[in-house]
């Protein structure tokens, strides 16, 4: 027989889940466990945010982490391959829209394993920080932000009013999840290169030492060429789109193909 119910908040650390947690606590909603799953490749400002948030709310945040690092899974792990053409390849390499292995291996499985243990003794109510203007992502569980009608912009304002600014990450990026993600836009990648050169160099290293191209149409080295070329043209007052731009870019990319 179950002992009762555990109310568990899934905390990614971003503006939405942070706003959800803060408002739940302010409205004295039941919160028994706060879960943060660490991929090992978050922005350093995110780790500082989690520590600051923990001090602010005055209660512990449970930190979960896979015993296998992203680097091991990316470079060295030898999974069973459904595609025979990939036999002998080391590591999962870059994730893609249809194979988000990093989310599965470093977050979903870790959280589900933790919840499975708790569910042996308790019923679980899980709270997910999806904003009211993200309806396409809604499936199940509890979504307080949707019930409150809080948009992403509302969430960011709510957090900033309480002193949380992620050391300016949201002044740069639209989203502040894992910095290495190949599913982010070109504009977000431009910002990573511009503001976090050390992380950009790590991205270049990783791409040079794996078998799958970072993006379908670009390696990180090719992105470096493109972004540098864009900067050159911008400095000269020239456009970074149009036939002339892409024709010249194509020639430059041949040097690193």
pTM confidence score: 0.91
Q: Please report the domains of the chain, with CATH numbers, ordered by start residue.
A: 5-182 (3.40.50.620), 185-257 (no CATH)
Q: Could you tell me the pLDDT band of residue 134, with boundaries at 50, 70 and 90?
A: low
pLDDT digits (tens, 9 = 90+) for 89-112: 999 999 988 889 999 999 999 999
Integer Cα distance of 244 and 242 in angstroms: 6
pLDDT digits (tens, 9 = 90+) for 153-189: 999 999 999 999 999 999 999 999 899 999 999 999 9
Are 170 and 176 in contact by the 8 Å Cβ rule? The answer is yes
Instruction: Give the per-residue pLDDT at 221.
Output: 97
Q: CB 238: neighbour CB atoms within 10 A?
A: 13
3-state secondary structure the chain: CCCCEEEEEECCCCHHHHHHHHHHHHCCCCCCEEEEEECCCCCHHHHHHHHHHHHHHCCCCEEEECCCCHHHHHHCCCCCCCCHHHCCCCCCCCCECCECHHHHHHHHHHHHHHHHHHHCCCEEEEEECCCCCCHHHCCCCECHHHHHCCCHHHHHHHHHHCCCCHHHHHHHCCCCCCCCCCCCCHHHHHHHHHHCHHHHHHHHHHHHCCCCCCCCCCCHHHHHHHHHHHHHHHHCCCCCCCHHHHHHHHHHHHCCC
Integer Cα distance of 118 and 5 in angstroms: 10
Structure tokens at 125: 């109510």
Average pLDDT, the chain: 93
| Among the listed residues 219, 216, 224, the one whose alpha carbon sits nearest the alpha carbon of residue 192 | 224
Mean pLDDT, residues 117-126 taken together = 92
pLDDT digits (tens, 9 = 90+) for 180-239: 999 999 999 999 999 999 999 999 999 999 999 999 999 999 999 999 999 999 999 999
Instruction: Give the per-residue pLDDT at 137.
Output: 45
Instruction: Give the per-residue pLDDT at 139.
Output: 46
Structure tokens at 50: 């989690």
Instruction: Give the per-residue pLDDT at 84.
Output: 84
pLDDT digits (tens, 9 = 90+) for 25-84: 999 999 999 999 999 999 999 999 999 999 999 999 999 999 999 999 999 999 888 888
Structure tokens at 80: 């069973």
């Amino acid at each position: 027989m179950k002992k009762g119910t555990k109310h568990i908040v899934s905390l990614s650390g971003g503006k939405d889940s942070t706003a959800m947690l803060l408002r739940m606590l302010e409205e004295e909603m039941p919160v028994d466990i706060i879960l943060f799953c660490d991929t090992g490749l978050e922005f350093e400002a995110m780790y500082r945010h989690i520590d600051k948030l923990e001090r602010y709310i005055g209660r512990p945040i449970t930190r979960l982490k896979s015993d296998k690092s992203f680097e091991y899974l990316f470079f060295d792990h030898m999974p069973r391959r459904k595609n025979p053409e990939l036999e002998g390849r080391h590591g999962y390499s870059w994730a893609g829209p249809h194979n988000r292995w990093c989310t599965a291996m470093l977050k979903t499985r870790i959280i589900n394993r933790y919840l499975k243990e708790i569910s042996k003794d308790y019923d679980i109510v899980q709270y997910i920080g999806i904003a009211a203007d993200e309806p396409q992502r809604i499936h199940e569980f509890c979504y307080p932000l949707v019930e409150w009608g809080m948009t992403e912009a509302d969430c960011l304002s709510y957090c900033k009013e309480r002193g949380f600014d992620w050391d300016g990450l949201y002044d740069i990026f639209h989203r502040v999840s894992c910095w290495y993600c190949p599913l982010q836009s070109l504009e977000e990648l431009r910002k990573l290169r511009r503001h976090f050169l050390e992380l950009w160099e790590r991205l270049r290293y990783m791409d040079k030492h794996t078998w799958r191209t970072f993006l379908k149409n670009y390696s990180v080295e090719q992105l470096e060429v493109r972004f540098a070329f864009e900067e050159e043209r911008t400095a000269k007052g020239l456009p970074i789109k149009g036939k002339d731009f892409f024709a010249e870019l194509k020639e430059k990319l041949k040097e690193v193909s």
